[in-house]
Homo-oligomer: A and B are copies of this chain.
Amino acid sequence: MNPTIKDVAQRAGVSVGTVSRVLAKNKTVSEDIRAKVEATIEAIGYRPNILGRSLRLNKTDIIGLVVPDITNPFFAELAKHVEMLASAEGYSVLLANTHDDPEAEKQQIETLLGRLPAGLILVPVSNSLVDGLISGTRTVTIDRPLSGHALVAVDNREGGYLAADHLLALGHRRIGYISGPNSTDVSAERREGFLRRLDEFRETNPGEYVAPQVVEGHFDYRSGEELGKKLLTQADATRPTAIATASDQQAIGLLRAAGDMGLRVPTDLSIVGFDDIPLASLVLPRLTTIRQPIAEITRLALEGVLGSHALQEEYKLRPVLIERGSCAAPPVP
């Protein structure tokens, strides 16, 4: 069995309270006793039992991280950042996947809560089932809002707006949009920003406007590929010359679809993604995309969970357009 604080006390000839006090650096202990205790701790290799401490203090140094799917590169990146910052502060990260299933999400959050985490970082799937479930645990929400908790997110409208703006500036008029699930706010907001820029354009250029073609699916590769096919199998005259997507994964799926159909990117088709996952700069052509400031998101989230004062209600961080090789002027007809 591991040595306990009692063993240390006994061996050092002091009381357990005293040992506890030398462990808590900032308490007042005489120098010689502190030295002696530290020596015995070293000698018998004592490591405080975290369970005892947690029970006594009624809190742990664990941070719960709930994401829809760790396999999604964006969430993997998020998890990595969270884990890095958390472990630098002496916290550990408990990981849970919801698989976009509200029922599973509820379940996961409940068991996480049962472990009395110091805080919760949550990318919510649904509001209905989780609403009111969390109380007394510092929680910040990423990407999607949950009433009663701070939200840290990229400004999705702005992101969509930037994508549309870029495409219009290049001269595209027939523009497609591959959206995420309509049920999610993230998705709705990105699309909304995108469409808003087009509306603005219509107002200033009444003659040129062509209605965007919007299709809806999931955020994953496969959806991008399928919806891409759908969008692209049209006569040259109506087929979009540019498509914006709600995620890089969709964009990469779309890239594939375009390739399958013999369309060259960016010559025949311009594509702009969303997120800027690591892979975005490694596909062929490199993907022009809307970058989420993920380090900043993580920093804020952890501050909200661990920091001394609560976060403000909502942070909307500015996305930035990363120009790479997947966009060009539309082909001349």
Q: Confirm or deny: A283 has a beta carbon within 8 angstroms of a beta carbon on chain B.
A: yes
Q: At the interface, yes or no: A17 with Cβ under 8 Å from chain B?
A: no
6 residue pairs of the A-B complex, CB under 8 angstroms, read: A62-B94, A70-B76, A87-B108, A92-B112, A222-B282, A252-B282
Asked whether, in the complex, the Cβ of B221 is within 8 Å of the Cβ of A279, the reply is yes
Least distance between A326 CB and chain B CB atoms (Å): 13
B residues less than 8 Å from A221 (CB atoms): 278-279, 282
Segment from A49-57, A143-151, A238-246 that makes contact with B: A49-57
A283 partner residues in chain B, CB cutoff 8 A:
252, 256, 283
Closest to A75 in B: B76
Interface string of A198-229 (1 = CB under 8 A from B): 00000000000000000000000110010000
A181 within 8 A of B: no
Is A80 part of the binding interface, using a Cβ–Cβ cutoff of 8 Å?
Answer: yes
Are B70 and A73 in contact (CB-based, < 8 A)?
Answer: no
Q: Assess the B95–A79 pair: CB atoms within 8 A.
A: yes
A258, closest chain B residue (CB): B284
Complex Cα gap A94–B115 (Å): 12
Does A321 lie at the interface of the complex (its beta carbon under 8 Å from any beta carbon of B)?
A: no
List residues of chain B with CB within 8 A of the CB of A60.
51
Cβ–Cβ contact B97 & A83, under 8 A: yes
B96 near A278 with CB under 8 A, answer: no
From 82 to 115 in chain A, residues with beta carbon under 8 angstroms from any chain B beta carbon are: 83-84, 87, 90, 92-97, 108, 111-112, 114-115
In the complex, the chain B residue whose C-beta lies closest to that of A252 is B282
How many Å lie between the Cα of A80 and that of B104 in the bound state? 14
- A83-B96, A94-B92 are contacts. A70–B71 as well, Cβ < 8 Å? no
Decide if A259 is an interface residue (CB 8 Å cutoff): yes
A69 at interface, CB cutoff 8 A: yes
Indicate if the CB atoms of A77 and B87 lie closer than 8 Å: no
Identical copies of this chain, number: 2
Q: CA–CA, A232 to B270, complex, Å?
A: 29
Alpha-carbon separation in the docked complex, A84 to B97 (Å): 8
- What separation, in Å, do the CA atoms of A296 and B62 have in the docked complex? 30
Query: For A83, what are the chain B residues with a Cβ–Cβ distance below 8 Å?
Result: 70, 95-97
Given the known interface contacts A76-B76, A83-B96, A96-B92, the answer about A256 and B284 at a Cβ–Cβ threshold of 8 Å is yes
Closest Cβ of chain B to A35, distance in Å, is 24
- Would you call A142 an interface residue if the criterion is a C-beta within 8 Å of the partner chain's C-beta atoms? no
* CB closest chain-B residue, reference A90: B111
A sample of 8 more A-B contacts (CB under 8 A), given A47-B114, A70-B76, A70-B79, is A50-B114, A51-B54, A65-B95, A76-B76, A90-B111, A221-B278, A225-B282, A256-B282
CB contact under 8 A between A97 and B111, given known A221-B282, A283-B256: no
**What residue of chain B has the Cβ atom nearest to residue A72's Cβ?**
B76
**Chain B nearest CB, measured from A328 CB (Å):** 16
Q: Which residue, of A95, A259, A279, has the highest number of chain B Cβ atoms within 10 A?
A: A95
Residue of B nearest to A54 (CB): B51
Task: Select A71's contact among B77, B108, B112, beta carbons within 8 Å.
Answer: B77
Q: How far is the CA of A249 from the CA of B94 in the complex (A)?
A: 27
The answer for the CA separation of A54 and B53 in the assembled complex, in Å, is 12
The residue of chain B having its C-beta at the shortest distance from the C-beta of A107 within the complex is B87
Q: A95–B93 Cα gap in the complex (Å)? A: 6
